[in-house]
Amino acid sequence: MAMERPTYRELERRWKALRASRDVRIREVACVGAPRTLLCAELGDPSRPLITIAAGVHGDEPAGALALLALVEDDALDPRFAYRLWPCTNPSGYEAGTRASAEGTDINRTFGRGGGSPEARAIVTANRDYKFALALDLHEDDEAEGFYCYAYGDEGIGDAALAAVRASGAPCDPQGCLRPDPHLEAESIGGLSLSLLLRRNAAARTLTFESPARLELAERIAMHATAVRAACSQTTVK
Ligand SMILES: [Zn+2]
């Protein structure tokens, strides 16, 4: 039987439940100008290099958000790092199953100029003083045949993540690891994505993972979890 995705409320409840069992620090960050908050989760030894992972900016792409939750619930993140996680950066879109937020905004085009949507502004403001050893954003693509990624300054991490997905028996898309020019990319999509913003000012290595939405949800969640673990394990600590 196909897996059903949990509601946003259920997702939130499961993250908050981790406070007790996993030493995860969870905050709700207000989205000024919209009636909602974003979850921000921190875990790991704060003296370690920091990795940030975000998911769910497109509400009709649930696998990344569910993979991130599963990785923390299963205590499967590499302990060499501390983590700053954004479990679902578009709660109203997730709830409605739509790419855009309730206001009709594609949030992942609004990370320029301090944030052009309530969600982007909340993230930009809360992330202001942070630098990351690695930044990941988890997406899905309804046209892809298999898993692929976009990478900026990744030092081979994208290829390693795809190799790990392939080794798990899941399909990778022929386009593999794409490395577009960040400036041209911002122009062609018509705004700054979270990955492009982080690449610009906070993270030397930035990747966007894309799972193929045509596959079963459970399979897509497993692909993201595999890719995230491979990317973290390939990240060198300087
Ligand atoms: Zn997306």
User: Does 176 fall in a domain?
Assistant: yes
User: Does 21 fall in a domain?
Assistant: yes
Task: Give the pLDDT band of residue 3 (cuts 50, 70, 90).
Answer: confident
* pLDDT tens digits, 64-83: 999 999 999 999 999 999 99
User: Does 3 fall in a domain?
Assistant: no
The predicted pLDDT at position 237 comes to: 78
User: Does 177 fall in a domain?
Assistant: yes
**CA 55 to ligand 1 center in whole angstroms:** 9
Average of pLDDT values for 194-206? 95
**CA 105 to ligand 1 center in whole angstroms:** 13
User: Does 2 fall in a domain?
Assistant: no
What percent of the chain clears pLDDT 70, i.e. is strictly above it? Answer: 99
**CA 104 to ligand 1 center in whole angstroms:** 15
CATH number, domain of 144, equals 3.40.630.10
Parent domain of 31: 8-234
Q: Is 4 exposed, middle or buried (0-12, 13-18, 19+ CB in 10 A)?
A: exposed
In the chain, how many domains are there?
A: 1
**CA 140 to ligand 1 center in whole angstroms:** 5
pTM of the predicted model as reported, rounded to 2 decimal places: 0.97
Average of pLDDT values for 117-138? 97
User: Does 80 fall in a domain?
Assistant: yes
Judge contact between 29 and 40, C-beta under 8 A: yes
**CA 208 to ligand 1 center in whole angstroms:** 9
User: Does 229 fall in a domain?
Assistant: yes
**CA 25 to ligand 1 center in whole angstroms:** 26
**CA 86 to ligand 1 center in whole angstroms:** 15
What's the CA gap between 206 and 194, in Å, rounded? 10
Task: Give the pLDDT band of residue 23 (cuts 50, 70, 90).
Answer: confident
Neighbours of 234 (CB within 10 A): 20
User: Does 153 fall in a domain?
Assistant: yes
Judge contact between 137 and 57, C-beta under 8 A: yes
User: What is the separation of C-alpha 232 from the centre of its chain, rounded to a whole number of angstroms?
Assistant: 13
